[in-house]
Structure 1
Amino acid sequence: MKHMTRLRALGLVLALGLVAQGCGDDGGSSATGNTGSSATGSGTGTATTTTLTPKQGGTLTFAVYAETGGLDPVVPNAVGTTGGHELNAVFDTLMRYDVDSAKFVPSLAESLTPNADGTEWTLKLRANVKFTDGTVLDADAVKFNIERHITYKSRASIQVALIKTMTVVDPTTVKFTLTTAWGNFPFALAGAPGMIGSPTAIKACGDKKPAECAFNTAPVGAGPFMIDSFKAKESITFKKNPNYFGGAPYLDGLKFVFLDAGREKTYDALKAGSVDSAFLRNPEVIKKAQSDGYQGNLAVQSAGGILLMNNGYKITCAAGAPAALCTGKTDGEKVATTPATADKRIRQAVAYAVDPKVMNTRLWNGAGFQGSELFQKTSKWNSNTPGIVADAAKAKALIDEVKKEGKWDGTIRVLCYNGNPNFGIAVQAQLEAVGFKVTKNDDQAISGYITDIQVKHDFDIACWGYNVYQDDPWINLNGNLNSTSASNWIGYANPEMDKLLGQLLGAKSDDERKTALAAISKLWNDDVPSAIFEATGEMIIWDKDVHGVASNVTAVARFEKAWIG
């Protein structure tokens, strides 16, 4: 991956989040939004360069974005926004991404080597690495752990779904045979599937579900730190692992706390000295941290803010449900939903109506990362393919064209949740300005909102975010746009897009990936499956006395070489 531009440090990419935080503009990344310190590459690696002599001791307190549901890699999402920092501390990963070399490199592994076409990868482990309970980290342990992601359908299961077979060649060698070529397979082993726990400790749980097992709050790994205490709703603490294969950490320990999801309270705690490092996701707070001169890792996830549009999702009927569509239908019969946005012209009208610059102003007072293109200019994957430029006249013309056919009266439904009322208000105002009749629902809790989108598919437009990893853009693009994907909530289907996503998956170099992504960007503009208005900025910052923080894929911070002084 490409080295990222700097704010005062290197970039860091984060994953996840339903409604993104950035902003949008009139077709390209605007110079009026938050343009300083945006990242263009993977955003992983050593965060600072220093010639100071590291100091031993101390506990680093880190304010997380969200509380984790546990420390078993198959339980939380295990990314930067949820649990990833904590899990990396106790497990490390088989592979990691190194910014300086712009490559995936071994961590707990010794090497990972592909065959000629990328359908087979051979993992070689370091000899004599042990978990903190004394169990050897061997090939059987790797196979056992990765199989658990499949068995329990973890959030990382999409990353291991392409593994056809895992063969233990010898105690330190595992051969992965994939169902198709994946040129970026090391990405999977740098994330949750590469976080290997002690089989001895895991098997002690017996038949208990992972979330109910003692291992979930008292994990045993081979990482730089060991669990000290897990106090739900309070803190999670770790102590150094003196036998870590890379050498004992400088820090005596780590403490993870949750404050307010990376907003003002979190930033105030950093300034006051009650935390040493923090995760920010609010664009206005990020901009404030930048102007205050804090060092940190910033990255921008592509398509972090979108208007998700139902393309006519086909629901599979079961026992006559959902009743609105499936009454009298046989079980298994597929029935298409009938949203206004099933008509491409209406989707185009929405894209022309919503101005990313206006969204940025309304949501973030101009501090966000506005842009309607799939990959903004700060992204390493940018191909100079412009986004759709806001144009009220074009929007009105398309609306009038469809209305004249007599089958639609201009009504369109907008679904948001109650976390940010400005979102729905801003969308409604711009849509009504071009002639839509908007029915807005933005007063429900996020659980009901998710159900309407992912289960009932009962919406025209929804406030959403794709949050495409820069580390491996295929993961989220494929999940949202492939016609066969279980997480394609909108029913978008185009054989050409499926073909391009396959090319992206099999690409062996960044140049090949960029070629595929350029074609995907053009097809996105042609089909308008949804409307993008911003990218999502996320930043890990630290106090001036903190040094040596590093990072891995999906915005997971690494602390094995961190120190305070």
Structure 2
Amino acid sequence: MSRNSRSGSRRAAAAALAITASLFLASCAGNDDNEGGGGGESADSGSSLKIGMVNEQADPGSPTKGGTLTFSGYSPVTTLDPAKAQVSGSTGGSELSAIYDVLMRYDPIEQTFEPQLAESLEPNAESTTWTLKLRDGVTFSDGTPFDAQAVTASINRYMTNKGPQSGLWIAKVASMDTPDATTVVFNLVDPWTGIEPMLSTGPGMIVAPAAQQGDQFTPIGAGAFTLEKFAPNEEMLLASRPDYYGGAPNVDKLKMVSILGAQPTSEALKSGGIDAAYIRTLGPILDLVESDYPGFIDIPSLGYIANVNMAAGRPGADLRVRQAMAYAVDPATLDVRANDGKGLPGQVIFQDTSRWHNDVAPIGVDPAKAKELLDQAKADGYDGKISYLTMQEPSAQATALAVQAMLNAVGFDVQIENVNNVGDLVKRMYADRDYDMATAALNLTEADPSERLYTGLKTGGRNNTTGYSDAEMDQLLDELGVAISDDDKKAVLVKIQERANETLPWQVWGTGPALDVWNQNVHGLQPSIDGILLFDEVWKK
């Protein structure tokens, strides 16, 4: 695999911005419709939510064959190409997995990775070489073999198209060998366990060799379903594959839709208009859980933050200004405004709902200290003015007004600047870099938080929109990348939290839950990484 980057055309640049937009939507989804949570420590929050299954169903007996299952995703599917999408539960990851499947699946209950289309994925003793074995009898939906050559060709295509995870992959994977038709050997630059989550998401969705013909892309995968109809931003209809390696799926059809708003989605689930959904809004989530709907709750970290532009000439370039902001804004107050105190407020990266939680204390809330730091910056010429970029959406506006009031109370002069939608917000932050402070999120996965920390914090990282640059943090991110055991990773994450408290790469206000949910007559859905659902075993009673 070539590690040389290609010069981008206009089309590639547009695709990259679209991917960035979907990544931002995936990570900041928790800020829409009062989803995000608020401030303080999670132990002090009013939330009873924990990561895991809720309202687990009794043994339903043998699967029933036939019928159509209707699933409402968080956002409409806009592309069928895994190399041009941020593959997550909130941005079409479940829908694409039905077509392509994935090499590996993350079991969020056992917190382990297990083979899906793969038969096995094993490291050497140093985790510098990983050997992937493919299952026998797997074919693409066009009948061609699902073999090692096809796997490496698809991964190379993903990297050439600069898929969202391509930068980290290229930095970590030196080469891929195919000693036989069922084996792929990944030779790494240094020890790395991040290959497992990679092969559970976009890079692990293998596209058939015949899928790309010049500029024409056809969604040909090895998943349990094939595309029957696709109306972008509206619906997608999938038909079951009788030749799927595990046998024909139980349901005949999958109907994928996206209902605008969590409350209408919840109502459609209750009325039977849909069978399953992915929801990121606290109020409906609490209601569905209390109403005994089965599902899986995920609580990604850093789901409710603000980015502060640190470019030269911006207020955030001064650490004292960022510190003053952090001391001035009480996340618990934001939680009361947005969630009636029932959210997951906090100032730390990993709250106590996360397996990566540590005992490093948050920076705390101290308006007097905020005023002192701001006065120091003003004495050196700062005028106290700052703009806060947000969307014209009720909960976002409520948050903006609360942030404005708390910052103004210590001496800032905050002006709220509105944009119409997430696309405009993304363009201002990621493309134009034209903002002072803006609503944002990272949504670090429980499976592996290192990928988004790396791309969001590393100097020059793909999604480092703030311009944050810190040599010590860069070194810590490199240490995290080569940490193998969970204990080693946790030890580095303690140092990352300590350094984040000192340098404030973001303003952290909390996080928010996500819920994969289904009706009582639905069985066999399998949660995976980052909110993705797998449908190959689903059935309706």
Question: What TM-score, normalized by structure 2, do the two folds share?
Answer: 0.90
Within-5 A mapping of 1:92-171: 92-99=101-108, 101-158=110-167, 160-161=169-170, 162-171=172-181
Aligned residues: 511
Deviates further, 396-405 or 529-538: 396-405
Q: Residue 456 of structure 2 is aligned with which of 468, 471, 480?
A: 480
Cα distance in 2 for partners of 1:444, 1:266 equals 22
Q: CA deviation at 1:155?
A: 2.4
Instruction: Give the corresponding residue for 1:431.
Output: 407
> Does structure 2 retain, via aligned residues, the 8 Å contact 1:46–1:550?
no
Q: Which of 429, 439, 458 does residue 463 from structure 1 map onto?
A: 439
**For 1:74 and 1:46, how far apart are their aligned partners in 2?**
36
Distance 1:513 1:47 in 2: 31
Paired AA for residue 424 in structure 1: A
Decide whether aligned partners of structure 1 residues 115 and 127 sit closer, same or farther in structure 2, where only a CA change above 3 A counts.
Answer: same
1:45-94 deviations in whole A, cap 9, x for unaligned?
99866353322222111111111122221122221111111111111111
Question: What is aligned with 2:98?
Answer: 89
Cα offset for 1:475? 1.0
Alignment-derived partner of residue 557 in structure 1: 533
**1:120-162 deviations in whole A, cap 9, x for unaligned?**
2111112231112110000110011001111111223245323
Tell me which moved more, 73-82 or 362-371: 362-371
The answer to whether the Cα contact below 8 Å between 1:98 and 1:552 also exists between their aligned partners in 2 is: yes
Residues in 2 aligned to 1:19 and 1:61: alpha-carbon distance in whole angstroms = 23
The corresponding residue for 1:256 is: 256
Compared CA separation, residues 44 and 193, structure 1 to 2 (3 A):
farther
In structure 1, distance between residues paired with 2:69 and 2:48: 27
Change (3 A) 1:171 1:48: farther
What is the DSSP-based 3-state SS (H/G/I as helix, E as strand, rest coil) of the residue aligned with 1:475?
helix
> Equivalent residue of 2:494, what SS?
helix
Letter in 1 for 2:68: T
Question: Which residue does 1:376 correspond to in 2?
Answer: 351
Establish whether residue 25 from structure 1 lines up as the match of residue 56 from structure 2: no
Alignment partner of 1:182 out of 187, 192, 212: 192
Contact 2:102-2:116 at 8 Å conserved across structures: yes
Could you tell me which amino acid in structure 2 is paired with residue 25 of structure 1? G
The alpha-carbon deviation at position 349 of structure 1 amounts to 0.8
SS at match of 1:303: coil
Deviation of 1:353 (Å)? 0.9
Q: In structure 1, what is the Cα distance between the partners aligned to 2:121 and 2:156?
A: 19
SS of aligned partner of 2:83: coil
Distance 2:270 2:342 in 1: 20
Kindly indicate whether the alpha-carbon contact (under 8 Å) linking 2:57 and 2:520 is maintained by their aligned counterparts in 1. no
Q: Distance in 2 between matches of 1:541 and 1:31?
A: 27
- Unaligned 5+ segments in structure 1 are 1-13, 313-336
Once the two structures are superposed, what CA deviation does each residue of 1:326-383 show, in whole Å capped at 9, x if it has no partner?
Answer: xxxxxxxxxxx21112111111110111111111122233332211111000000001
Q: Give me the whole-angstrom Cα distance separating, in 2, the residues matched to 1:521 and 1:172.
A: 42
Q: Greater shift after overlay, 14-23 or 247-256?
A: 14-23
Aligned-residue CA RMSD (Å): 2.2
Secondary structure of the structure 2 residue equivalent to 1:134: coil
CA contact (8 A) 1:65 1:280 kept: yes
Distance between the aligned counterparts of 2:56 and 2:227, measured in 1? Answer: 24
The structural deviation recorded for 1:232 is 2.8
**Structure 2 residue aligned with 1:36:** 48
Partner of 2:14: none
- Identical aligned residues as a percent: 36
Partner residue in 1 for 2:342? 367
Between the aligned partners of 1:363 and 1:101, the Cα distance in structure 2 is 33
Counterpart of 1:245 in structure 2 is 245
Report how far residue 174 of structure 1 moved: 1.2
**1:410 maps onto 2:357 in alignment:** no
Find the aligned partners of 1:188 and 1:48 in 2 and give their Cα distance: 31
Map 1:500-519; keep pairs closer than 5 Å: 500-519=476-495
8 A Cα contact 1:311 1:492, kept in partner: yes
